[in-house]
């Protein structure tokens, strides 16, 4: 009876693992980093950005990430920022899926190892 339950659990783990792998395969492009809107002042003394309260220029979108231990910054257009938002969300989702796949694999591995030692 224990082997039947183990087999059923392994089947559930396998189905869940394959479901997660399928989701991961459909995730699309990914990008690491963060995206932030920036607002600035110009140097013109009569500009509204110099007023009190100031009406700053922007938003100007900036993406930053680490590449080989160094911070890389890039100024983006509005359309590029929209793409990066999507790619960063995809990256977060991919990390979540991988974490869940690892958890399922640990459970299945433990069960398989117990069966092998029995």
- The residues that bridge with 36 in the sheet, in sequence order, are 62
Query: Whole-prediction pTM value?
Result: 0.79
pLDDT of residue 2: 52
Q: Phi first, then psi: give them for residue 77, nearest 5 degrees.
A: -75, 170
Going residue by residue through the chain (118 aa), what tens digit of pLDDT does each one get? 457 888 899 999 999 999 999 999 999 999 999 999 999 999 899 999 999 999 999 999 999 999 999 999 999 999 999 999 999 999 999 999 999 999 999 999 999 888 877 6
pLDDT of residue 1: 42
pLDDT of residue 64: 97
Strand order in the sheet with 34-40: 34-40, 57-67, 70-76
């Amino acid at each position: 009876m224990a082997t039947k339950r183990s087999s059923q659990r392994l089947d559930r783990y396998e189905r869940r693992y394959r479901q997660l792998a399928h989701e991961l395969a459909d995730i699309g492009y990914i990008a690491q980093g963060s995206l932030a809107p920036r607002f600035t002042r110009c140097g013109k003394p009569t500009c509204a950005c110099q007023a009190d309260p100031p009406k700053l220029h922007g938003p100007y979108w900036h993406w930053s990430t680490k590449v080989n231990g160094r911070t890389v910054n890039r100024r983006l257009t509005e359309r590029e920022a929209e793409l990066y938002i999507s790619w960063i969300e995809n990256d977060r989702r991919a990390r979540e899926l991988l974490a869940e796949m690892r958890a399922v694999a640990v459970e299945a591995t433990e069960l398989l190892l117990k069966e092998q030692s029995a």
